[in-house]
Amino acid sequence: MKHQVPVEKGKTYELQIHTLGTSGEGVGRKDDFTVFVPGALPGETVRAAIDDVKKSYARGHVVEILKASRDRVAPPCPIYADCGGCQLMHMDYMAQLRAKRQQVIDAVTRIGKQKDLNVLPTIGAATPWNYRNKMQFPIGRDKGHTVIGCFAQGSHRIIDTTDCRIQRQGNNDIVNAVRDIVEKLGIPVYHEDRHTGVLRHVVGRVGLDGDMVVLVTATEKLPHERELVKLLRARLPRVLSIHQNIQTYRNNVILGRETRLLWGRPTILDRVGRLKFHISPRSFFQVNSQQAEVLYGKALEFANLTGDETVIDAYCGTGTITLFLAQKARQVYGIEIVKPAIQDAKKNARDNGVKNAEFIVGDATAVMPRLYHQGIRADVVVVDPPRAGCTPVVLETFANMHPDRIVYVSCNPASLARDLAILDGLGYHAEKIQPVDMFPMTSHVESVALIRRKK
């Protein structure tokens, strides 16, 4: 007998919202059937219209809030309802922090089967607004005008943005200058469906000493290049670096492989704690510099270094955590598969006068056994993997090195929970997790887990 779904597309239902989903949407139930409702908050009763029905869940939108949560606030951003950049601006900031902790707890208990793991209260940002040092917005046309901003939720329609409340002011200045200058010079913008036009994206980066503009083009040639640079320099006195990045492929990847410096310095500087970092157009660098210091400080605290340890940083990127750890360790090895990131990491080590960090290009699954065979034993392993987490082979490689502690930095509670369960089977027990709010107003949460070898 076919299972009867209790909701129909296009119809409206009264729902109690119990929790938040991983993308920040309200989660309600109709006769034990899950309905996701973006914009609804836990504790609310809403009337929701159903937009989409699947086998095990449905998605809807709020028609009316019948009973509002005490945590509901008026979002200060005028385009919040349309824009897909933030998901939680309608929620009081302290409530956001509690919800993010709950997201970690739910993942580690449901997916990781860790029943009594200590998940600490989320460390919030001192200022939850205007924190992003990096902006990458698509460029398009709408009603005969150039538009630059975030995509609307679940679509590729660009919402024109003049004052993004989570971007640093320098990035908003870049967006507004580029929009005006593109209009003035009549530079053709990219049309995604037809694969025509020139300008695809504008990338802005705000540094310590000045800012960077990267114009991403679908063509080798950038029309009115000299005039464009001249006008940008006149309009943006803080800009130190202007680049063209060429992305000719018909896909959603923002940056292409080739970057040309049009004017100024090849990199800008930023800092995390005492350390300074050169940032190039394609460098990975945490987008919230202030909270990155908090996050890395926690990783360092959990590593509990005395100065005698050998540490391996298994996904080191441009070496930010590695160099942080090097301040307290005897020797640190940073491993990263992306060659340009390792080149940046070596330069960052030189610039900061760090002599006890060695950077190796390669896959951690191949490099770590090689280090082990060379007689290198890690006292502490630190890992900050991509969203998908670690492969089982990488986790086995960690365990085979018999470190006393593993410090796991994660941007995805679900993959962290899965990996904690695997490590548990390999003789490593998670002791505590510290969530850190790197991305206020959004549904994302970073966390640092301390994992010890079982006695």
DSSP string covering 25-94, please?
-EEEEETTEEEEETT--TT-EEEEEEEEE-SSEEEEEEEEEEE--TTB---S-TTTTTBSS-S-TTB-HH
- Whether the CA torsion 76, 82, 88, 90 is positive or negative: it is positive
Beta strands in 285-422 (DSSP E): 310-313, 331-336, 357-361, 380-383, 405-410
**Domains, the chain, ranges and CATH?**
12-67 (2.40.50.140), 99-126+288-453 (3.40.50.150), 134-272 (2.40.50.1070)
Alpha carbon of residue 221 to chain centroid: 31
Mean pLDDT, rounded, for 164-191: 98
For residues 284 and 122, which has the higher predicted lDDT (pLDDT)? 122
Whether the CB-CB separation of 65 and 44 falls below 8 Å is answered with yes
Please give the pLDDT value at position 1.
44
The helix (run of H) or strand (run of E) holding residue 188 is none
How far is residue 315's CA from residue 386's CA, in Å, rounded to a whole number?
A: 8
Residue tagged 């150039």 (tokens)? 146
pLDDT tens for residues 202-218? 999 999 999 999 999 99
How far is residue 190's CA from residue 196's CA, in Å, rounded to a whole number?
A: 6
Please give the pLDDT value at position 311.
98
How far is residue 294's CA from residue 125's CA, in Å, rounded to a whole number?
A: 9
Mean pLDDT, rounded, for 48-70: 97
Q: What is the rounded average pLDDT for all residues in the chain?
A: 95
Quick one: pLDDT band at residue 84, thresholds 50, 70, 90? confident
Quick one: pLDDT band at residue 365, thresholds 50, 70, 90? confident
Mean pLDDT, rounded, for 186-191: 96
Based on C-alpha coordinates, what's the Rg of the chain? 24
DSSP 196: B
Mean pLDDT, rounded, for 423-433: 97
- Residue 246 in tokens: 């060429």
Residue 2 predicted with pLDDT over 60: no
Quick one: pLDDT band at residue 359, thresholds 50, 70, 90? very high
pLDDT tens for residues 263-283? 999 999 999 999 999 889 988
Whether the CB-CB separation of 185 and 224 falls below 8 Å is answered with yes
What residues act catalytically?
411
Phi/psi of residue 107, nearest 5 degrees: -65, -45
Buried-state track 149-179, b at ≥16 Cβ within 10 A, e below 16:
bbbbbeeeebbbbeebbbbbebbbbbbbbbb
Mean pLDDT, rounded, for 25-48: 97
pLDDT tens for residues 94-109? 999 999 999 999 999 9
The amino acid occupying position 47 is R
Percent of the chain with pLDDT over 90: 92
CA atoms within 13 A on the CB side of 220: 0
Mean pLDDT, rounded, for 28-36: 96
